[in-house]
Structure 1
Amino acid sequence: MTIDCDSAKSKNDMTKVSNKPDISNLDPSILDDVSIPIRKRMETYVKLLQRRLMDDVEAEENSNRFSNEPKQFLVETWTRKEGGEGISCVLQDGEVFEKGGINVSVVYGNLPPRAIRQMSADHNGLIDRVGYKIEGPGAEVDSLPFFATGISVVIHPKNPKSPTSHFNYRYFELMHPKTLKDGSPNPRYNEDEPVAWWFGGGADLTPMYLYPEDAKHFHAVLKAAADSQDVAFYPAWKKWCDSYFMITHRGESRGIGGVFFDDLSLPSWSNTKPTFIPLVDGSSHPQSQLVSTKQHDKESLFRAVRAMGDAFIPAYLPLVSKHKYDVFDDLNVEWQQLRRGRYAEFNLVYDRGTKFGLMTPGARIESILMSLPLKARWEYMDGTTGTGREHSAAAQLIDAEKKKQNPDSEMKAREEIQQVLENPVDWV
């Protein structure tokens, strides 16, 4: 998530539209160059990954296309006055993909105290790590410089047999200000040493119909990528994913999981030396402290994020290719739209990035809401998905009517995926 927290005061330049992001000025060789700051390398990585994924999605869309006219992404490039840029790429109404968005943002500026506290709600101990008095009488600073870059992707295929998928990977820094609030030089200022930094991200799968072999493939590819960096990563991140994407008011998950992590950094006492790092699995009250099996430094964590980002295409696109020509009917579309209604509920009610973005004056609303499906449906007390259906006479009546009208195979398929959404499964 990268948000301009002072954007209400900014006057952004007119956006530019094209068919492809320009990557001619990017140098892939710097990704492993430890002399280059991580922020520059992460920015380069997400922009290269964006272009690679765009090319692969367009190739899938236009392979054996019925229309002679190839479908392309609409690419909108934007900048902001205080510093930063973004590239929003959206494909809509395709033959394979109903809607797909691939966004990259690189934002920097100053984070006011209210925004720092907003971030600290998600990053335990951040205020303590910052070490400045940021509010009230005697406040040392009135803002902190920040930098954030990341890629965010959501793909909604047209065929109900093809799963929706989402991933995002991001990097965040808080820096020391050059001067304190009273105008005096800041003795702690060091442009090469952030106050705090961390990686976050994840990838997850949301099928409308359950194909266990697809679920196993998706999770296996992500697990292999995570295991290549540290075998402790996948179990913690998979559990956190199941927890994070729970639609609490529905008592079901948005999908069948994947990986999710935040606050991926080094402990403050490590002094940048390789060390075993604490891990989080999303548990409110973990029974024991999770720890990595390898010693890590900033470079190894950057490699881990890149490994996970690189894993998305082989984890997901083969599933789209496998199902894009599957036969489907109006009943399948009806169920797809019901499930996408749940997808919209999660994103608007629970997703931290969406909520923070919508509360930020002047934020880029269209980019924030890019994740929403093109079409969604809500039915009162559906017999398979209705919340509280077990105690609802209306749900029992509606369920009985649907079972009369719909084939047994369709109702069974709906119940199978619903069971997994309410009871997460360990796929690998």
Structure 2
Amino acid sequence: MTDSMEQQKAQASAWFRTLRDDIVAAFEGLEDSHDVGPFSDQPAGRFEVTETKRASDDGTDAGGGLMSVMRGGRVFEKVGVNVSTVFGTLGERAQAAMAARKGLPGMKDDPRFWASGISLVAHMQNPHCPAVHMNTRMFWTPYGWWFGGGSDLNPCLEYDEDTGHFHGVQKEHCDRHGDQHYPRLKEWADEYFYIPHRGRARGVGGIFLDDHNSGDWDTDFAFIQDIGKAFLPAFVPLIEKRRVDDFGDTEKHAQLVHRGLYAEYNLVYDRGTKFGLETGHDANAVLMSLPPMAKWV
């Protein structure tokens, strides 16, 4: 591995940690500023931060990260913001998946990997506030490197203006790198976050990409940074607007049913969930995305 690649990996890992810090601060700021409307009489929520470790078969250091979870706040019922940098060798199942998806049959001969990224899922107190998911990541093997990530909005009560704002901010950030990206990433998200056994999407979409390698690391890293930078301005204004809205049993029921849909997707289809569990990462961190309460009808 070249020194330049080591520097690039360190740069990517540091960026994901910076993005995590910015999001945690912004979310705690939302808790502090919510002083009118439902749940405003509760104590402001704060993140509990836990160090995570990746398990390795031989007991050697295999990396880890930070799991930051807030529960029972004024605005957030449960939100997790995880950041990690892990490394080691891929097991047989992960090797097979890598060979199938990326066309890397040589993984069997040299199954080393390195991965770093941030993953976020937020489930809100007020049903008028949409749930949201975001992640950005870098993955390396001896056969190449890739970036991936995106974010998608998951409201149980849909508002066209909210959907338009969320997509508009993401398009603005993608367009900084060429107007060809947003349409492709939006379509990719629509396909990726589709739930076949329900015959519907899990939300109103967003942007998604994976296995991204143009051959120019600096260009691709700048692109994935802008995907990450789009998240807060796309999401926070929606929460500031909707967190004061009144709701009743009908809206709460709709929220819990939609959370059941979200849980089904993450447990059955999500690549990140499968990869995290197959590579021995902390199961609590991997399954952080599951809602605190859900309902099936």
Structure 1 residue 111 displacement after superposition: 2.4
Name stretches of at least 5 consecutive residues in structure 1 with no aligned partner.
1-33, 135-140, 176-194, 267-271, 273-296, 380-428
2:275 is matched by which residue type in structure 1? F
Q: What is residue 133 of structure 2 aligned with on the other side?
A: 166
Q: Partner of 2:213 in structure 1?
A: 265
- Residue 33 of structure 2 aligns to which amino acid in structure 1? S
Q: Distance in 2 between matches of 1:144 and 1:354?
A: 20
Distance 1:228 1:56 in 2: 24
Shift of 1:78: 2.6
1:208 corresponds, among 156, 161, 172, to 156
- Read off the aligned partner of 2:211 and give its amino acid letter: D
Matched to 2:270, the amino acid is D
- Structure 2 counterpart of 1:252: 200
- 1:149, CA displacement in angstroms? 0.2
Structure 1 equivalent of residue 57 of structure 2 = none
Q: State the match for 2:242 in structure 1.
A: 323
CA, structure 1 residues 109+62, in 2 after alignment: closer, same or farther (shift >3 Å)? same
Per-residue deviation, 1:300: 0.7
**Cα distance in 2 for residues equivalent to 1:36 and 1:221:** 32
Question: Following TM superposition, by how much is the alpha carbon of 1:58 offset from its aligned partner in structure 2, in angstroms?
Answer: 0.4
Question: How far apart in 1 are the matches of 2:63 and 2:6?
Answer: 19
Query: Could you tell me whether the CA contact under 8 Å between 2:94 and 2:278 is conserved in 1?
Result: no
CA-CA distance at 1:112 after TM superposition: 4.1
Q: CA separation in 2, counterparts of 1:222 and 1:120?
A: 31
Give 3-state SS (helix, strand or coil) of 2:101's partner: coil
Matches within 5 A, 1:12-411: 37-65=7-35, 66-67=40-41, 69-80=43-54, 81-123=60-102, 125-127=103-105, 130=106, 134=108, 141=109, 143-175=110-142, 195-266=143-214, 272=215, 297-360=216-279, 362-379=280-297
Cα deviation, 1:198-240, whole Å, max 9, x if unaligned, reads 0011110011112111111000000010010121111111001
Residues 121 and 162 of structure 1: CA distance in aligned 2, closer, same or farther (over 3 Å): same
- TM-score, scaled relative to structure 2: 0.91
Higher relative contact order (CA 8 A, sep 6+): 2
TM-superposed deviation, 1:35: 9.1
AA of the residue aligned to 1:207: P
**Structure 2 vs 1, CA of residues 167 and 68 (structure 1 numbering), >3 Å: closer, same or farther?**
closer
* Aligned residue-pair number: 285
Contact 2:267 2:273 in 1 (8 A): yes
| Rounded Cα–Cα distance in structure 2 between residues aligned with 1:151 and 1:122 | 22
Q: Which has the higher helix share?
A: 2
SS of the residue corresponding to residue 122 of structure 1 reads: helix
Amino acid aligned to 1:43: S
Counting strand residues as a fraction of each chain, which structure ranks higher?
A: 2
Q: CA RMSD in A?
A: 1.8
In structure 1, what is the Cα distance between the partners aligned to 2:198 and 2:44? 40
- For the residue of structure 2 that corresponds to 1:150, the secondary structure is strand
Instruction: Evaluate the alpha carbon distance shift between residue 68 and residue 112 of structure 1 in structure 2; reply closer, same or farther with a 3 A threshold.
Output: closer
Per-residue deviation at 1:113?
Answer: 4.5
Deviations 1:352-387 (A, max 9, x none): 121333445x431111111011111111xxxxxxxx
Identical columns (%): 41
CA separation of 1:108 and 1:35: change in aligned 2, threshold 3 A:
closer
CA distance in 1: counterparts of 2:217 and 2:278, whole angstroms = 32
Give the letter aligned to residue 77 of structure 2: E
Q: 1:358 to 1:111 in 2, by over 3 A?
A: closer
Mapped to 2, the partners of 1:358 and 1:308 lie a distance apart of 25
Say whether the 8 Å CA contact 1:151–1:169 is kept in structure 2.
yes
Q: Distance in 2 between matches of 1:225 and 1:335?
A: 32
CA distance in 2, matches of 1:57, 1:41: 25
The superposition leaves residues 107-154 of structure 1 with CA deviations (integer Å, 9 ceiling, x where unpaired) of: 01122444222223332x222xx4x7x3xxxxxx3x432110000000
* Most deviating of 329-338 and 112-121: 112-121
Gaps of 5+ in 2: 55-59
CA distance in 2 between partners of 1:110 and 1:349 (Å): 24
For the 8 Å contact 1:170–1:199, the answer to whether it is kept is: yes
Residue pair 2:139, 2:146 contacting (<8 A) in 1 also: yes
How far apart in 2 are the matches of 1:68 and 1:102? 22
Q: How far is the alpha carbon of 1:64 from its aligned partner?
A: 3.6
Distance 1:325 1:354, change over 3 A: same
Separation in 2, partners of 1:342, 1:350: 12
